[in-house]
Amino acid sequence: MSWTFMNAFFLLGVPVLLLVLSVAWFRWKSRLVAESGDAGVLARLIDPKRPRQQGVKLLLLLLGLVMLVVAVAGPRWGQEFQEVHRRGVDVMIAMDVSTSMFAEDVKPNRLTQAKRELSLLISLLEGDRVGIVAFAGTAFLQCPLTLDYGAARSLLDLLGPDLIPKPGTNLAAAITTSLDAFPKGTGKNRALVLLTDGEDHSGQLDVALDRAVKEGCRIFTIGFGNLTGEIIPLRDENGNVTGYKKDKDGQTVLSKMDEASLKKSAAKTNGAYFPASQGEVEVTKILEEIGRMEKKDLDSRVYGQGENHYRLPLVLALFLLMLEFLWPEVQRHWTRVFRDVREGRFLAGLLLALLCLPGRSEALGRYPRSSEIAPFVQKNPNDLEAQFRLGHALYLEQSYAAAGEAYEKVASAVTHPPSKAAAVYDAGNAFYRQGKLDQAIEQYKQALRLNPKDADAKHNLELAQKLDKMQKEQQKQQGKPKDDKKDQKSKPGEMSKEDAQRLLEAVAQQENSTKEKAGKKKPEPAAGEDW
């Protein structure tokens, strides 16, 4: 298997970072919950399987992101050979890998520079078949003629002095092996490029050149090194110089470029000679000469890189992300959803939610009118959420009697204490607005029994009790002769008219605040409840 974009794997840092942050967040949340109350109480209030469900959701999310990264990287497999048909020239490149190519008169050394020019030459070929021959004391066909330039370039790292066991430089063997690699016969569409320092130790160069002329092969030579000579350093595995190459007599070898041999090889075969340069301009000149040669139909088998199979991990990633989205965090989530769908509550709730969209109830803010909710309530009388919304809409429309009836229906049907407390509290507000203080006080007391920490219910209870006491004292004083002075100054412990007026204003202000908080007062649905 191979990859189209290997750098895409750096994106794996995103799910890794998300995993680290999620683990830290889960630990902080667990510690905060443990410090917030008694363990027994928390066990009854919090779903024990919720952390496990959240862990599953996180795992699905991370796997989905990993699959997305794999899809971006583009996995490839199913490699195969493909037949390629083109018109061009057969180009054989002979690379000198002898020890003399380690001389450093060309920086960093002759061999490294020769590899650069070989790679550039292959990259600039267009439609020509290319082959590679490595030579030192003998020659070896490294890559047969092919149109697969990628496969030819992949062999460059193998070119070195260890590839050919026989030392020395044998130009004749390089030319002969290259000619043998061409198709049998003769033609004007064969080119041989020699990358070497030109030192020939075989004595058979003229024979090889005669054969090249006979078979119509043009030889282009690139010479590496200088004419004065350069010593050949010997290095260890770490690249440190351990000595210099010596001959059999113990004398340090001085390697010179044999420019005369290279020029003779090029001239005799109607080719061209170029000295190596740092700008590699000689490669461009050789390609221009090859481009003027006669072309022929070329067939070759190219090793395919395989098809990009990004679709499989992409589909898997989308499936995992969708599964993470649908995976519940609480028990029996889908059971309740299917039950609501079966009983018609799901669609009713959905349509009811659409009525709450901005622009449908400008006069009532974000809540719909009672006339819009009533049809849903009639169709689904057991839908406590719709009943609660109906009561709130009636309350905002100042239909307090009808609102109180709706709240009482909800309170009598629901069994969850916090939910029941909310409905009872709202019913108390409806009775209070009707002036039925006794019933309002009872509703507030019942709300506090269900939820002792409800500060709003406690405050409204105190206000209702004060107002009820004031009304009863005023009723007792009816029928007594009026005393202007006593009216102007109230008795100790009694409430003056100014105080009563301020109390009523405070109650009205509290009710306006209650309207704003009504949506927030509705608690989270408990297990077994429908709202």
Domain boundaries, the chain: 2-78+311-320, 81-303, 351-475+496-521
Q: Which two tokens stand for residue 109?
A: 């050394």
DSSP at 494: P
Q: What integer pLDDT is reported at residue 247 of this predicted model?
A: 83
- In angstroms, the CA 522 to CA 518 distance is 7
- In angstroms, the CA 391 to CA 368 distance is 11
CB-based contacts of 330: which residues, under 8 Å, 6+ apart?
47, 49, 50, 53, 527
Q: What integer pLDDT is reported at residue 301 of this predicted model?
A: 53
- In angstroms, the CA 15 to CA 265 distance is 62
- In angstroms, the CA 380 to CA 392 distance is 17
**Is 351-475+496-521 in the same CATH topology as 81-303?**
no
State the amino acid at position 51 in one-letter form: P
Assess contact for 73 and 30: CB atoms under 8 A: no
- Tell the residue number behind the tokens 């909710």, with chain if given: 373
Q: What integer pLDDT is reported at residue 278 of this predicted model?
A: 80
Strands 217-223 and 272-275, how do they pair? parallel
Assess contact for 233 and 104: CB atoms under 8 A: yes
Residue count of the chain:
531
- In angstroms, the CA 41 to CA 63 distance is 35
State the amino acid at position 209 in one-letter form: L
- In angstroms, the CA 259 to CA 94 distance is 17
Q: How far apart are the first and last CA of the chain?
A: 54
For each of the chain's 531 residues, which pLDDT tens digit applies? 778 788 889 999 999 999 999 899 888 877 776 765 555 555 555 556 677 878 888 999 999 999 999 999 988 776 555 566 667 889 999 999 988 888 988 888 899 999 999 999 998 888 888 999 999 989 989 999 888 888 888 888 788 877 887 888 899 999 999 999 998 877 788 999 999 988 787 888 999 999 999 999 999 999 998 888 889 898 888 878 888 888 888 888 888 888 999 999 999 999 999 999 888 889 999 999 998 888 887 655 554 556 778 889 999 999 999 988 888 766 555 565 565 555 555 555 555 454 444 433 333 344 567 777 788 777 777 777 777 888 888 888 888 888 888 888 888 888 778 778 888 888 888 888 888 888 889 988 988 888 888 888 888 888 888 888 888 888 777 755 545 444 444 444 444 555 555 555 555 555 555 545 444 444 443 333 333
- In angstroms, the CA 168 to CA 100 distance is 8
Q: What integer pLDDT is reported at residue 338 of this predicted model?
A: 60
Instruction: List Cα–Cα distances, 358 to 351, 362, 367, 394, in angstroms.
Output: 14, 7, 9, 19
- Tell the residue number behind the tokens 């108390």, with chain if given: 428
Backbone angles phi, psi at 246, to 5 degrees: -125, 155
Assess contact for 131 and 144: CB atoms under 8 A: yes
Q: Which two tokens stand for residue 61?
A: 């999310």
Q: What integer pLDDT is reported at residue 513 of this predicted model?
A: 54
Strands 75-77 and 2-3, how do they pair? antiparallel
Q: What integer pLDDT is reported at residue 526 of this predicted model?
A: 37
Count the neighbouring beta carbons within 10 Å of the beta carbon of residue 425.
26
State the amino acid at position 215 in one-letter form: E
Cα angle 310-315-318, degrees, rounded to a multiple of 5:
125
- In angstroms, the CA 374 to CA 383 distance is 12
CATH tag, 81-303? 3.40.50.410
Q: Which two tokens stand for residue 174?
A: 């390089």
Q: What integer pLDDT is reported at residue 150 of this predicted model?
A: 81
The radius of gyration of the chain from alpha carbons, rounded to an integer in Å, stands at: 47
b/e per residue 16-27 (b: at least 16 CB within 10 A): eeeeeebeeeee
What's the CATH number of domain 351-475+496-521, 3.30.365.10, 3.40.50.920, 1.25.40.10, 3.40.605.10? 1.25.40.10
Its pTM stands at 0.46
CB-based contacts of 409: which residues, under 8 Å, 6+ apart?
387
Assess contact for 391 and 383: CB atoms under 8 A: no
Q: Which two tokens stand for residue 439?
A: 């019933």
Q: Which of 182, 192, 207, 229 is nearest to 95 (CA)?
A: 192
- In angstroms, the CA 75 to CA 62 distance is 19
Q: Which of 94, 103, 89, 75 is nearest to 2 (CA)?
A: 75
Q: Which of 102, 346, 73 is nearest to 234 (CA)?
A: 102
